[in-house]
Every structure is written in structure tokens, then in C-alpha cells.
């Protein structure tokens, strides 16, 4: 059972309580853990005064279980329930959150992790799940309820003033105690509405073993950029001396400071050399796109505060940019179209044939970063600004830099109408969302 309810909890010891909304009375919601191939059966109960639903980010569910109001189901009204039931085809790090007024409901605290274990997990000493997020709160601890301001919608989105790690204030004071010699698997999830993290871990290699839940060839990175919606699985060998301490820092230009401290206990090292066990995960079976026979489709993105003045189509009618913002509260277009959430049952902006091999060329004509997410499928990022990627990774959410062009490829094998949107949730609310029909 997953029950959405108001919940008051402090973000740090001694702090005033913050008025969140949470699943099962906590922020984040319960950590859901399954084995690959298992079936999830969960009743969602809406004990809020707002309509809602639950979306399973990254899980290749049948369309009717995707949890998108107005597209795959009716909104779940206050006091009502909805039963979700679907199999888990992929192992990996996933998460869940509402898909209704998500620019408000997610930062209010409605999110949780969904972990699907591999048939044969890799060997580690400890596994941790870190849900990163943020809130905008005042000195009284209460949320500043300025959701959906055009100023945020047309810029970087609504970035909070307190970063949260598993619902508690992040920062150097957030201590992870480690033992010298131990190997940790760290599952990172960015559940923030708009904040992009650029993580650096002092004194340790961050070995990436999966992006968005899908295995990659293990490789060490200096910094890890995680946009909203994105995940990374890391293996960290803690080989420093007992008693030492290190920071995990966020070096993004909008950073609110360090995320956590790694503090070595005094216990004698568990081992002197890093664990020899392989880090490589067995890959999930995903349908491989054949670029030679793929059809190309284009999506052009325009808008934003400093964007090229253009026009947009709203509810089938052309509208000038300033009216787009002033009259409709919309600031972004995809292929000249801007949509409101409740209008999503209208025409999909792309029609794909079931089984079609597809290259989506995403052309960002804006000055902003957009983590673009597709439901129901994984795609390979095959080219950046026309340059082929040597090792195209699988993703369900990809960061599209300002003025950048990305080619992503996939097989449209999952029938239904699938959301495709920016995961900066204010951008999505501001028009950067639509559906892709696979039929
Ligand atoms: Cu994480 Cu359309 O969602
Ligand atoms: Cu965006």
C-alpha cells in the first residue's frame, strides 16, 4: 500500500517541522525493493486534498500502469484508490513520484526509491540508497508555497534553498560512517524538481556501474552530473586511513554546498587492498536499435526567458510568445507546440509504429539545460552535436545542454501513449511535455 498524506517532519534535529506531503507518512516514501522478474502489486490511496497518481520512473510498464493522469488513467481523487500491478523486466535503480502537478507534488515530498535487484548482485560490503532533493523553506521551517511562478518556469525551474538527502538536510554535517577497506554500492537518485547536481567525492574514485539503472562498463568519473529524474549506481572503495574524513561536494553553479561527509571509524581496516570482486553488472535485455534501418524524427525546443521570440501552438491555435507566457503561463515549445498537463489527451506530437527503429534528433534552441525523459522505453544516446558516441549508453533521461543537438535511438516496442518531457518539472508544466504514440 502506498498512501499519499500530509506529513510534518523536521529536516534536521531540533529544526521546526516542515509541512511535507509524503507516501506512508514519510519523506522520502518507503524504499521499495524487489527482485528482477517479480510482479509489483500496490494499492495507491490518496489521502490528500488534491488529485494524484503514481508514476514508476524508468520501469518499462504496460501503458495502463504508467500513472499519468489524463493520458494513461484518470486522476485518483481525494479519498480514492488505484491498484497498480506490473512485472519488473529490468533490474536497476528506479523511483516513483506523482505525475499530476508534479512541479508542486514532487517538491512537497512525494517521491521514493524503487530498487530492483539483479538475479546475481555484485559483491559489496554495503549498499546505500541516496535520494537527493531540495525544498524551498522559510526560517519557520514551512514550505514557501510559490509553486508554478512564471519566473521559475521560464528560467532554471524552482530550485530549493535546502538540499535534502533522504529527507534530511544535506551538508558536511550529514555524516556517513565508513570502515577502512569496505566497498560500498551507492545508488544515487535525483528526485529534485529542478536542481542539477554535480557531485565530486574527495579522496575516492567514483566508479559508475549503471546510469538510470542500466549497466555500463565500470569507469571512474571525477564528477557526476545528475539532472532531475536521473540515477547513477556507484561503487566506492573506501581505502583511506581510519580516522580520516572526506567530503562529497556539489560543484554545480547553483550548488547549496556539500552533500555529505565520509568519516572513517577507528576500526582496524577490513582489508588492505580493494575487494577484487568484479564491478560489472549483467546487462538487462533491451531491444537494440538498428541505426541502418532507423527512421529519423526531429524535435525542436524553443523558449525560455532569453529565448528566441517565436510562436507556439496551444490547444490547436497559434499564439505569440508573450501571450504564451502572459495568458497561458507557458514558456517552452516542442515542435512549436506548448501543452498544459490537462490537455495531454490531445494529439500526440509523434506517431511511431510498434517495432519501429527510431532516431530522435533533439535540437535544443534554448539557452537552458533540459533533462529529457521518455516513458516506457530506454534509448541509447548515439550522438552529441553530430559526433557519434564511442560507447552509447542506455538512458531514460538525458541532459540536453544549451544549444546542443542530441541523437537518441530506440525500438518503439511498447504500445501506448508515452510521455516525453523535460524533468525540470517547471519546464514540463510550462509546455515542455507531450506524448509519443506507439501503435
Ligand atoms: Cu519521472 Cu514523466 O517522469
Ligand atoms: Cu527543461
CATH of 128-264, one of 2.60.40.420, 3.40.190.10, 3.40.50.300, 3.40.640.10: 2.60.40.420
Distance 131 CA to ligand 1 centre (A): 15
Q: What residue segments make up the domains of the chain, in order of their start?
A: 2-119, 128-264, 295-438
Asked if residues 112 and 131 have their Cβ atoms less than 8 Å apart, the reply is yes
Ligand 1 pocket check for 22: Cβ under 6 Å: no
Question: Whose grid coordinates read 519501429?
Answer: 356
CB contact at 8 A, 115 and 58: no
Q: What local confidence, expressed as pLDDT, does residue 240 receive?
A: 98
Q: Starting from the CA of residue 373, give the closest ligand.
A: 1
Helix and strand tally (H, E) in the chain?
4, 34
Per-residue model confidence (pLDDT) at position 310: 67
| Burial call 393-406: b when 16+ CB within 10 Å, e when fewer | bbbbbbbbeeebbb
Return the residue whose CA atom lies nearest to atom 3 of ligand 1. Answer: 57
CA–CA separation, 349 and 360 (whole Å): 13
C-alpha dihedral (197, 203, 207, 211), degrees to nearest 10 = -10
Task: Report, as ranges of residue numbers, the positions in the chain whose pLDDT lies below 50.
Answer: none
Pocket lining: 419 vs ligand 1, CB cutoff 6 Å: yes
Determine the distance separating the centroid of ligand 1 and the alpha carbon of 54, expressed in angstroms. Answer: 10
Q: Is 427 in the pocket of ligand 1 (CB under 6 A)?
A: no
Q: Is 305 exposed, middle or buried (0-12, 13-18, 19+ CB in 10 A)?
A: middle
Please give the pLDDT value at position 343: 75
Q: Whose CA is nearest to atom 1 of ligand 1?
A: 57
d(CA 7, CA 135): 14
Q: Radius of gyration over alpha carbons of the chain, in Å?
A: 21
Task: Please tell me the distance between residue 67's alpha carbon and the centre of ligand 1 in angstroms.
Answer: 10
What are the C-alpha distances in Å from 345 to residues 74, 189, 284, 322? 11, 29, 32, 25
CA 91 – ligand 1 centroid, Å? 18
Q: In this structure, what DSSP letter does residue 328 have?
A: H
Q: Please tell me the distance from the alpha carbon of residue 111 to that of residue 101, in angstroms, as a whole number.
A: 13
What is the H or E stretch that residue 324 is in?
A: helix 321-328
Beta strands in 63-147 (DSSP E): 81-87, 92-97, 112-117, 126-135
Give the residue carrying C-alpha cell 509523434.
350
96/422 Cα distance (integer angstroms): 16
Residues 6 or more apart from 419 whose CB is under 8 A from it?
Answer: 66, 68, 71, 99, 344, 373, 374, 375, 433, 434, 435
Lookup: cell for 252: 554545480
Closest-approaching ligand to the CA atom of 427: 2
User: Strands 311-314, 317-320: parallel, antiparallel or unpaired by DSSP?
Assistant: antiparallel
Would the CB of 99 count as within 6 Å of ligand 1?
yes
pLDDT of residue 344: 67
Provide the pLDDT for residue 277.
94
Query: Does the beta carbon of 98 lie inside 6 Å of ligand 1?
Result: no
> Model confidence over 58-82: pLDDT tens digits?
999 999 999 999 999 999 999 999 9
Which whole-number Å values give the CA distances from 82 to 42, 54, 65, 298, 375, in the listed order?
A: 8, 9, 10, 36, 20
Segment 98-122, tens digit of pLDDT: 999 999 999 999 999 999 999 999 9
Under CATH, which number does the domain 2-119 receive? Answer: 2.60.40.420
Burial 16-36 (b: 16+ CB within 10 A, else e): eebbbbbbebbbbbbebebeb
Q: Which fold has domain 295-438?
A: Immunoglobulin-like (2.60.40)
Distance CA 93, CA 220 (A): 19
Identical fold, 2-119 and 295-438: yes
Between the CA of 269 and the centroid of ligand 2 the distance, in Å, is 45
| CA pair distance 223, 126, nearest whole angstrom | 22
Amino acid at each position: 500500500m502506498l498512501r499519499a498524506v500530509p506529513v510534518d517532519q523536521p529536516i534536521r534535529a531540533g529544526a521546526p517541522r516542515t509541512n511535507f506531503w509524503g507516501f506512508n507518512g514519510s519523506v522520502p516514501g518507503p524504499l521499495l525493493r524487489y527482485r528482477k522478474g517479480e510482479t509489483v502489486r500496490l494499492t495507491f490511496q490518496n489521502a490528500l486534498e488534491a488529485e494524484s497518481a503514481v508514476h514508476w520512473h524508468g520501469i518499462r510498464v504496460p501503458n495502463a500502469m504508467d500513472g499519468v493522469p489524463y493520458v494513461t488513467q484518470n486522476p485518483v481523487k481525494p479519498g480514492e484508490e488505484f491498484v497498480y500491478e506490473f512485472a519488473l523486466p529490468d533490474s536497476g535503480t528506479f523511483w516513483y513520484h506523482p505525475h499530476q502537478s508534479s512541479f508542486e507534488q514532487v517538491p512537497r515530498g512525494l517521491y521514493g526509491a524503487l530498487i530492483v535487484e539483479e538475479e546475481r548482485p555484485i559483491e559489496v560490503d554495503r549498499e546505500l540508497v541516496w535520494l537527493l532533493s531540495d525544498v524551498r523553506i522559510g526560517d519557520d521551517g514551512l514550505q514557501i508555497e510559490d509553486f508554478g511562478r512564471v519566473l521559475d518556469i521560464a528560467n532554471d525551474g524552482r530550485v530549493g534553498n535546502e538540499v535534502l538527502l533522504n529527507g534530511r538536510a544535506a551538508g558536511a554535517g550529514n555524516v556517513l560512517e565508513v570502515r577502512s577497506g569496505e566497498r560500498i554500492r551507492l545508488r544515487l537518485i535525483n528526485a529534485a524538481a529542478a536542481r542539477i547536481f554535480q557531485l565530486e567525492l574527495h579522496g575516492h574514485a567514483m566508479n559508475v556501474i549503471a546510469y538510470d539503472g542500466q549497466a555500463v562498463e565500470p569507469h571512474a568519473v571525477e564528477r557526476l552530473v545528475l539532472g532531475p529524474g536521473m540515477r547513477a549506481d556507484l561503487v566506492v572503495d573506501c581505502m583511506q586511513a581510519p580516522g580520516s574524513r572526506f567530503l562529497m561536494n556539489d560543484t554545480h553553479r547553483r550548488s547549496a554546498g556539500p552533500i555529505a561527509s565520509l568519516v572513517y571509524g577507528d576500526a582496524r581496516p577490513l582489508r588492505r587492498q580493494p575487494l577484487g570482486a568484479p564491478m560489472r553488472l549483467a546487462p538487462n535485455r533491451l531491444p537494440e536499435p538498428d541505426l541502418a534501418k532507423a527512421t529519423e524524427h526531429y524535435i525542436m525546443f524553443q523558449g525560455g526567458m532569453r529565448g528566441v521570440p517565436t510562436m507556439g501552438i496551444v490547444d490547436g491555435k497559434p499564439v505569440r510568445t508573450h501571450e504564451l507566457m502572459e495568458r497561458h503561463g507557458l514558456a517552452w515549445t516542442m515542435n512549436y507546440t506548448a501543452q498544459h498537463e490537462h490537455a495531454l489527451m490531445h494529439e500526440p506530437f509523434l506517431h511511431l509504429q510498434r517495432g519501429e527503429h527510431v532516431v530522435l534528433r533533439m535540437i535544443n534552441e534554448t539557452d537552458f539545460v533540459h533533462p529529457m525523459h521518455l516513458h516506457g522505453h530506454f534509448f541509447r544516446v548515439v550522438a552529441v552535436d553530430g559526433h557519434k558516441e564511442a560507447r552509447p549508453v542506455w538512458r531514460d533521461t538525458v541532459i540536453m545542454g544549451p544549444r546542443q543537438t542530441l541523437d537518441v535511438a530506440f525500438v518503439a516496442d511498447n504500445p501506448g501513449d508515452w510521455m516525453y518531457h523535460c524533468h525540470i518539472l517547471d519546464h514540463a508544466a510550462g509546455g515542455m511535455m507531450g506524448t509519443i504514440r506507439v501503435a
